[in-house]
Amino acid sequence: MNVLTGYIVREILKGSFVAAILLLTLFNLFTFSDQLKDLGKGHYGLKEIFYYVALGSPSVFYELMPASALLGSLFILGAMGNNRELIAMRAAGLSILGIIRSVMLAGAILVIISILVGEFLAPAAERTAQMIKVAAVDEGKVIMSVKYGLWLREGNKFINVRKIEDDGSLADISIYELDDRRHLRHSIHAEKAVFQGNEQWKLEKIEQSDISIEQMTASKQSEQIWQSTVAPDLLEIVVVNPNNLSMYDLAMYIEYLKDNHQKSHEFELAFWGRVVNPLVVFVMLLVSAPFVIGVKRGVNVGARMMIGVVIGMVFNIIDKIVGHIGLIYDLNPPLMAVAPSLIVLVAALYALNRVQE
C-alpha cells in the first residue's frame, strides 16, 4: 500500500465512522422517543430504556453501514476534490481507477467490521434488549428467549413458542405442565394457537401426552381451549425474529421450517438480505465516485450530502418495495435481495464510465 492509497483509505474510514456515529445518534434519539410511550409500564423505567437503546445500537449500526459509507465517501472525496487533492494525486501518477481501488480497499475494511457486528454482536444484543423490555413490562412471565423460540412460565406450566404468524396466531407451540413435586404430568403440542380474547387461546391440531407413575397415555384432538394470561403483544416482541438471527442461525432455521413443511420465505429473504447487505457497502462507495469526480470543484458540502441522502433514500425505498413484492408473490428470495443492488451497481458503473470518457 503506497502513501496515497493509505491516505485515501484512512480518510474514507474516518468519514464513514463519523457519518455512522451521527446517523446512529439520530436513530437512537427516535428510538428513545418511541420507547418513552411505554415508560412506567410494570418496571420499565428510564434505566431499562437506556439499556434497550444501547443494546439495539449494534443492529442499527449494521443496517446503517452502507448509508454511512456513502455519506462518508461523498464528504471525504468531495473535500479532496474541492481542495484539489485529487488533481494533485492524479498529477503524481494515481489514475481514476487507482483512486477507486483505494476507496474499495476502505470498503473491504468496512465490510469486515459490518460482518463482525452483524453476525456476532447484533443478534445477541437485540435479543437481550427485547428480553429486558419484556421482563420489565411483563414481570415474571418470560424465562428465556433463544434463537429458535421463546420460553415462558405460567404457574406450573412451561410454554415454548416457535413462530408467530402474520395474523397474530402462534405456530408450533408446546406446553409442559408439572405437578407440585416438579414431575412432568402433561405435555401438549399444537400446530396452531389463535387468540380468542378474555385470556383464551384456541389450540388446533393437538397431540397430548398424560404422564403418571403407572402409565403414559397419548391422544389427539382437533382443537382445545387454553386459558392463559400470555398476551399476543408480549409474544410479538420476542418470538423468533429474522433480525435476531445470524446468517448461520437463519440457515438452520430455514432448514427446520422446510423439514416441518412450514413457510420459510420471510426468513429466506432475510438470509439473502444478510448476505447482500455487506456487499452494498461496495456499491455505495462506487456510487460516490462519479458524483465526486464528475462534479465541478465548486460544489459545496451541503450539496454533496443532499446527493448522498437522496441516493440512500431512493435505494432504501426500492429495496423495501422489492422485498415486499417478493414476500407477497413468493418470488425467488436471492433474486429479490440482489436486484436493487444490481440496479444501483449498473447505474454506478455506467456513470463512472461516462466520467472517464
- The whole-angstrom separation of Cα 122 and Cα 115 is 10
**Residue 46: inside a domain:** yes
Q: Both 348 and 273 in a single domain?
A: yes
Containing structural domain, residue 112: 3-137+243-356
- Rounding to the nearest 10 degrees, give the CA dihedral for residues 293, 296, 299, 303: -50
DSSP letter string over 180-194? TTS-EEEEEEEEEEE
* 106 and 172 assigned to the same domain: no
Cell numbers for 54, please give them: 444501547
Q: What burial class does residue 268 get, using C-beta atoms within 10 Å of its C-beta: 0-12 exposed, 13-18 middle, 19+ buried?
A: buried
Sheet containing strand 142-146, strands side by side: 142-146, 149-154, 157-164, 170-178, 184-197, 200-211, 216-227
Q: Quick check: is 168 in a domain? A: yes
The per-residue pLDDT for 144 is: 58
- The answer to whether residues 251 and 187 belong to one domain is no
80 domain residue, yes or no: yes
pLDDT at 295: 52
The reply to whether 182 falls in a domain is: yes
174 & 318 share domain: no
Strand 142-146 relative to strand 149-154, pairing:
antiparallel
- Tell whether 161 and 288 lie within a shared domain: no
Q: Could you tell me if residue 347 is inside a domain?
A: yes
For the record, the C-alpha cell of 71 comes out as 455519506
Whether 339 maps to a domain, the answer reads: yes
Domain match, 318 and 279 both: yes
Tell whether 249 is covered by a domain: yes
Give the per-residue pLDDT at 355: 65
Decide which of 171, 204, 237 is a domain's last residue: 237
Answer for the pair 165, 182: CB distance below 8 angstroms, yes or no: no
**Per-block average pLDDT, block size 10, for the chain (357 residues)?**
87 94 95 91 89 94 91 86 83 85 93 92 87 72 60 83 75 88 89 87 91 86 86 62 79 78 80 87 84 58 68 80 83 88 84 70
- The reply to whether 11 and 105 lie within a common domain is yes
- In this structure, are 317 and 177 located in the same domain? no
What's the confidence (pLDDT) of residue 206?
93
Q: What is the pLDDT of residue 13?
A: 95
| CB-CB contact of 286 with 311 (8 Å) | no
pLDDT at 35: 92
Amino acid at 59: S
Q: Which of 237, 271, 291 is the last residue of a domain?
A: 237
Residues 257 and 231 in one domain: no
202 in the same domain as 118? no
Report yes or no: 326 and 344 within 8 Å, Cβ to Cβ.
no
Cβ(279)–Cβ(111) below 8 Å: yes
> In this structure, is residue 143 part of a structural domain?
no
Q: What pLDDT is attached to residue 6?
A: 92
Name the domain count of the chain. 2
Same domain, 111 and 211: no
Q: Of 221, 237, 253, which residue is a domain's last?
A: 237
Through-space distance between the first and last CA atoms of the chain, rounded to whole angstroms: 27
Beta-carbon contacts of residue 224 (< 8 Å; ≥ 6 apart): 188, 190, 202, 203, 206
Return the closest-CA partner of residue 163 out of 264, 255, 249.
Answer: 264
Q: Report yes or no: 69 and 281 within 8 Å, Cβ to Cβ.
A: yes
Verify that 251 and 333 share a domain, yes or no: yes
Distance CA 323, CA 332 (A): 10
